[in-house]
Structure formats: structure tokens, C-alpha cells
Chain A
């Protein structure tokens, strides 16, 4: 195949300035074979990320090994094809899960954590436990009372509203597989909603996006989530009126709690 580039090629140097697919070369009007195949592989991985079923058992095991209790629920979407066509079903618990969750709910808590497949089970398989491990020290430091971590199958972000309400949580955070981009099949989003209840709008949530090894690291994402949660609890708001100032906090010298080393009590 033609199209291999050497480092003194100006286009190859240009290509280092952006993740965009530039300097690809061409064969007539078409792409070089290498690039057609590279694109096809990326699309295949993104498609697989969308259609892979969540292995809830394995996800629960990974989260439980961090010391969290877990509980599995399902949305009203019976299968992946329906889930993709009917976002409304992915936002509502199945009848069985709603009843089971009500039975499980105990005393009021500060925070309910929900891990949902969303549009990329792969992102959850590869990243959810790592994020929770990074976030756990902040929970301990703040002394937030936690509900069991809910692992949700065929779930959309708003599924967390009903879960949070059922668990009598002051806030819910939904950690969810984001719509995979061609170059990012493994991206998680974390959505924070204060005072969760069915009918909350997206404008009432804060989102931390692009959590993945090549994007926002779990450590930084956990730092940001802690910042947002602390502000949300203090101010009594979440959503568009709560601006993310965690970047300024980081620039101001605040350090994310290290993942290893047990720097935080109770981690």
C-alpha cells in the first residue's frame, strides 16, 4: 500500500497539530487504501461499543471489589434495537426494577451513584471501576452517605432521576457510556443532578464529558465531580446556573487526590 509518510513530510508535521484526520494523501479522488481501512476499523469499534451488551455481573464485581455495595436494575427498553429507537423507554425503570428498588431503599442518603451502559457498554466495562476508585476518596473525605451503586442496563441519563428519588438521595450522579465518536469508543460522561425526581430537564444537570484514557483522566474527572457536588450541595443548585469552576481550582494549585497511596482517610 502506498501513502506511508516520512517524518520530514510537512503534512505529517501538520497532522501532529490536531487529532483530525488531515494529511491523509489521496489516490486520485479517493483515499489511500490504508486510510479507508483505518476509518472502517474505527467505525467497526464504535459500532461494537454501541451494540455490545452490558456485562452487569462483571461490572458489579469490579465495583464491589472497591468496597461499594451494588444493585442492578433495568430500564423499560427490552432490547438494544428498541432502546436506540425509544429514548423514553431508556429513561424509565422497568416495573420489576422499580419495585425491587423501592424495597431496597433505606434511609435518606446524600448521593446515589448510577452506572449505566448508555451508548457504550465498552466505556463502562473499561472505565467505570477506575473512575469510582478515583472518586471514592472524595466521598470519604466529604463524609457523604452513599446508596448502593446502581448498575443500570439499557439506561439513559434521565433514568437516574427515578433511581435517585427512589433512594431518597440529595443528588444523583449517572456515570454513563457516551455516544461513541469514531476516535473515542470508550468515553464516559458523568451527569450530576441535585434533588433528583422524574421530570428533571437536562438544563438542571451538570456534565463532565470525555472521561477516557485519551481524554479526561479519571483522576481529574473525579476532582471535577467532587468540586461540582460540593458546590451543588452548598448552593442548592445544579445545571446551567452552576458554572464549572473546577478548572480554575486546578490552576489555582488544588491537587486531585492521588489514586494510590491512601492519602485520603477511609479510602
Chain B
């Protein structure tokens, strides 16, 4: 069914809902690359006016990708909570925006299971950045494994100790550095350079030994393919969290070598290990706008909507962490700081609205029109929006993946400016070992020597030499 909107003498026609949503999206390079972006500023606004008048029930009734063609569509519709949706079934997209701005945190939590990714994406397109921040801030998604993540007034950090050749001492050195800044409460999560199970075994033991030895209330993760992690669990290796990159269409997930049954199998295997102490959220997913287009599996749908569909893939697995690696994919999808900032706020909003524990890898590559100032802006806005977690990369420079993210220092900045605390278990641990005072502030000349001494493989290497 075609949609129409009249602006003065001109009638804008949109062939179907997918076209309307694509044209209503704030323009970005990825949708242009796909040939589906609005062709003029007026067309973009006409599409937004038109989308604002579409009833939510109509979006639910018209799947953008056919039920029989795509298992993500089937997952979305088969698990839709009609009871939760009833409270908003009568609204248009425009009404829904106003509903969200006035809703309480409790109301938002109640309706979350009734919100499909397409509904979240539609309302997102007519919201300004400040709307995305204000509403997301009211959505609380709390998850637990050995630490509690997502509580109001708190921000967690993934400690990302990547090394170009997976050198154990080098990785340990980065972990110790991050811990000394009070980072690591979301996860100590390493992107390995090698994907062999034998290499994985050494890395899993390295992080697990460190967590055990220092009694850190956090979880470890090696961010390798889900099938490799499954193999690791079968071999009895210490797996806390199962990682996987996911996307919003069946075809894009297939290009990652992942299916919903594989994710289910891995989730059940990790649950059975019962390694969590305060909860059993044991999945870690990463996403990012543009991945489906990159795989040639976007079905003519805009990248922001497909990103929200990736959160629908994550949702049934009750993940501990989901993060949008927002600027990693490059300028052909998000061209500059303005597009990256907007996308980061959109992704965080859509995820939280759907009840998914969103964090953000606030990041960019060197061929994007962006710099660390843009990251400061997005970081600050996400802090205000109540983002569950960010990345902590030494000096913001990932020397393995060759991109820039946020640093341990950046987390200190955000805590000081916005008064954000760490996960409560981790905060207590830091104080217990004397790294922070009762306020959570780092103690000058804290006991870093003790951290170094306790790190396996470091005390007897170059450091003590």
C-alpha cells in the first residue's frame, strides 16, 4: 500500500512502509549507498509527517520482511506480547512519541515486550536527539552475572585489553592498567587475533585465573564465534559469557555463520555452567548499523530499522550485555561525527525501549570524518541517556582492531561530570582493595603494585626483572 503526503503543491508518494521508513530516516551514507534514502530535505520531512500518522497496529500488521522468508520476522511476531501492546495499540507513531515523553519508568517497562523493532524504529525516526536521551533515560534494563549492570545512576565499563598477537603478558598488562582506573565491571572482554580453540583455551584461562586470583566481581569473555565458544564449553573450558555478532535479518546472520538454533544451543550450554553469582544473564551480543547492507542482506530496508531488529534477535536470550559498535563499520555507512552521534543515540534508545541492555562502543575509524571530540560528545550524551556500559580501551586506541574507542580516562571523565557510579559489587571490591575511597574516587598512588604483583605471568617477567 502506498503512502502519500501533501506539501503545498507537491504530493510525495511512498510505495510502501519500508520505503516510507527509509525516507523518514535522518539521512546517512549507508541508506544512500543502498539507494533508499530521501532524495531531498523536503522529501525526508514529508516522509516523517506521513510516518507520524501511521497507526502502530498497522506497523505490526505489515512485516517489512515476509514471515515465511525470514526467521527474524518469525521470532518478532511469534514472541510478540499482545497484552503489553494493548496499552499502545490505539496510538499513531506521532502519538506514541508524546506517550513516551510523558510515560513513567514503570509504564515503559510494562510495554517493552509489546514493542516490535519496527515500532521502536518508526518512532525513533521522528524523535530529536533530546527525545532519544530523555526517554532512554527512563527505561531501566538491569542484568546480572557476577556484577549488576544497568542500575540508575551507574555506568559500567567493558575492559578491552586487545593485543595484536594475543600475547599473554601484553593482555595482562592492559587488564592491570584498566583495573587501576576502576574499569572492568561490565566484562573483561578480549577480541582475540586468533580464532583457534587451542589459542582460545589459553586466553579463557588467563582471564579466568586473574578474576579468581584477584576475586574480582566481574565476568570474562573472549569475543570469538559462537561455535568456537560452544566447542570451548564442550571441552570444559571456563566460559562466563557467550559472545556473538548479530544482525537484523536471517540472511545477514547467515553471513556471520550464525542461526537462532545455534544461539539457543550456546545459551543453554552457558546457563548449565551456572558460573554467575548474582544472576544468570550469560550472553553478550554486538551489533551495528550497516551490517546487513554490508552482507547484501538488507531487503531494501533502512539500516536503523534493521539495527533495531538485531535487538529483537538478542531479546529472547536475556543477554547481560548488548552493544552497538556504532562507528566501527566506516564512512560508507555513517559518514561523520554527526551521523555517528545520531546513530549511537538511536541504537541506545531502540534497545532500551525494547527492554534490551544496551551499551555502546563509542567509536570511529580513521577514514570517517570524526575525531575524539565527536566521541566526547556522544559519550556525554549517552551518559545522560543512562547507557548501561561503554568500552574501556587503553588510550582509546585499539591496537588490534585499528579503530578508536573510549578510554579508561573517558570513563573517569563521565563519572566525574555526571556523578555515575560503577556496578555496586565492583565498587565495593575497589574500595576493599584500596583503589578507591568510600566515594568511588580513585586514591592517588593506589595499590597498583599489589595489582601487578598478583597478576599471573607478570610478577616473574619483565616487571620484576
Residues of A bordering B, CB below 8 Å: 10-11, 13-24, 26, 28-31, 35, 39-40, 42-43, 46-47, 49-50, 84-88, 119, 179-185, 210
Contacts and interface: CB of A to CB of B under 8 A. Distances in A.
A11 B171 CA distance: 14
A179 B170 CA distance: 24
A22 B462 contact: no
A18 B330 CA distance: 26
B366 A86 contact: no
Given A19-B163, A26-B409, A184-B402, 9 more contacts: A13-B462, A17-B172, A19-B399, A20-B163, A21-B399, A29-B416, A85-B29, A179-B365, A210-B164
B371 A18 contact: no
Interface of B: 29, 32-33, 161-164, 167, 169-174, 176-177, 181, 330-332, 335, 365-367, 371-372, 393-399, 402-404, 407, 409, 412-413, 415-416, 448-449, 452, 458, 461-463, 465
B413 A10 contact: no
Contacts of B365: 179
B462 A17 contact: yes
Q: Which of A20, A28, A185 has the most CB of B within 10 A?
A: A20
A59 to B, nearest CB: 20
A13 B366 contact: no
Q: Which of B181, B366, B465 has the most CB of A within 10 A?
A: B366
B33 A88 contact: yes
B332 A87 contact: yes
29 contacts: A10-B449, A17-B167, A17-B169, A17-B458, A17-B461, A18-B169, A18-B173, A21-B407, A22-B173, A24-B394, A24-B409, A26-B409, A26-B412, A28-B416, A29-B415, A39-B372, A43-B404, A47-B366, A50-B367, A84-B332, A84-B367, A85-B335, A87-B33, A179-B367, A180-B402, A181-B399, A182-B366, A182-B397, A182-B404
B39 to A, nearest CB: 16
A179 B364 CA distance: 12
Contacts of B33: 85-88
B412 A42 contact: no
Nearest to A43: B371
| 7 tightest A-B CB contacts, nearest first | A21-B395, A181-B402, A18-B170, A29-B412, A22-B177, A46-B366, A20-B394
Contacts of A31: 395, 407, 409
Contacts of B335: 84-85
Contact of A39 (B169, B173, B396): B396
A260 B405 CA distance: 42
Q: Which of A10, A17, A39 has the most CB of B within 10 A?
A: A17
Contacts of A10: 448-449, 452, 463
B177 to A, nearest CB: 4
B409 A21 contact: no
Nearest to A36: B372
Contacts of B404: 43, 182
Contacts of A47: 366
Given A11-B448, A14-B452, A181-B402, A22 B395 contact: yes
Nearest to A178: B402
B402 A182 contact: yes
Nearest to B367: A50
B449 A20 contact: no
Contacts of B170: 17-20
Contacts of A42: 397
Contacts of A22: 173-174, 177, 394-395
B164 A16 contact: no
B332 A179 contact: no
Contacts of B372: 39-40, 43
A14 B332 contact: no
Contacts of A182: 366, 397, 399, 402, 404
Nearest to B175: A22
B176 A14 contact: yes
Contacts of A87: 33, 332
B348 to A, nearest CB: 23
Contacts of A181: 366, 397-399, 402-403
B399 to A, nearest CB: 5
A183 B394 CA distance: 13
Given A42-B397, A85-B29, A14 B173 contact: yes
Nearest to A187: B402
B435 to A, nearest CB: 13
A29 B463 contact: no
A151 B452 CA distance: 50
A29 B379 CA distance: 15
Nearest to B400: A20
Nearest to B401: A181
A20 B395 contact: yes
B173 A183 contact: no
Contacts of A46: 366
B171 A18 contact: yes
A180 B458 CA distance: 31
A133 to B, nearest CB: 26
